[in-house]
């Protein structure tokens, strides 16, 4: 798989480790992991923008939603994968921000995350730039 830089925001250490190992098994080794919003922002500050961010927008304390807003407004990610069950109203609120800032929503994954579905979303990110732009 082409070299991608991925950021994972996940407060549960076991789920964070499982997602990290899953990405490594798929062939993605440049993975930034963060258990909290401050840790994610620190990683971005030290390592720069990422290709894909993975997080649950409904994390307690609002960390997931705050990260998504930060990534969109600062243009520190090109694409996003949402974890967990996302309320339709929240998705409706996020869509204008994502579109306006050019942050592409690759899809949503439920826990436990399927490696096959994760690979499909990552492949869709890699293939999309190769498709011709429609006039």
Q: Long-range contact list for 121-127, CB < 8 A, 24+ apart? A: 121/81, 122/1, 122/4, 122/26, 122/28, 122/52, 125/4, 125/51, 125/52, 125/78, 125/79, 126/1, 126/2, 126/4
Average pLDDT of the chain is 90
User: For position 129, what pLDDT does the model report?
Assistant: 58
133 in any annotated domain? no
Looking at residue 132, what is its pLDDT?
A: 44
- Give the residues across from 32 on adjacent strands: 7
Report which of 77, 72, 69, 84 is spatially closest to residue 19, judged by C-alpha positions. Answer: 84
Q: What is the pLDDT of residues 72-97, one digit of tens each?
A: 999 999 999 999 988 888 888 889 98
Q: Is residue 45 part of a domain?
A: yes
The alpha carbon dihedral of 54, 58, 64, 65 has a sign of: positive
Q: Is residue 62 part of a domain?
A: yes
Domain count, the chain: 1
- Structural domain includes residue 131: no
pLDDT of residue 80: 96
Q: In what order do the strands lie in the sheet with 104-109?
A: 30-34, 5-9, 50-55, 77-83, 104-109
Percent of the chain with pLDDT over 70: 93
Domain for residue 47, yes or no? yes
Residue 15 lies in a domain: yes
* Range of the structural domain that residue 75 is part of: 5-126
Confidence band of 134 (pLDDT split at 50, 70, 90): very low
132 domain residue, yes or no:
no
38: in domain: yes
Q: CATH number for the domain including 98? A: 3.40.50.2300
Query: b vs e for 60-73, b when ≥16 Cβ sit within 10 Å of the residue's Cβ?
Result: eeebbbbbbbbbbe
Per residue in 100-120, pLDDT tens?
998 999 999 998 899 999 999
Residues 31-58 pLDDT 10s: 999 999 999 999 999 999 999 999 999 8
**Sequence-ordered list of residues with C-beta below 8 angstroms from that of 20, at least 6 positions apart, any chain:** 8, 31, 33
């Amino acid at each position: 798989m082409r070299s991608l830089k991925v950021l994972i925001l996940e407060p549960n250490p076991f789920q964070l480790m499982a997602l990290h190992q899953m990405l490594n098994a798929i062939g993605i080794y440049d993975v930034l992991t963060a258990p909290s919003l401050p840790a994610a922002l620190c990683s971005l500050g030290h390592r720069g923008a990422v290709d894909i961010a993975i997080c649950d927008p409904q994390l307690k304390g609002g960390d997931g939603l705050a990260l998504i807003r930060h990534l969109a407004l600062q243009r520190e990610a090109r694409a996003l994968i949402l974890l967990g069950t996302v309320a339709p109203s929240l998705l409706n609120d996020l869509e204008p921000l994502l579109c306006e800032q050019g942050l592409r929503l690759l899809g949503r994954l439920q826990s436990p995350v399927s490696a096959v579905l994760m690979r499909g979303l990552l492949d869709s990110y890699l293939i999309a730039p190769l498709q011709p732009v429609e006039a």
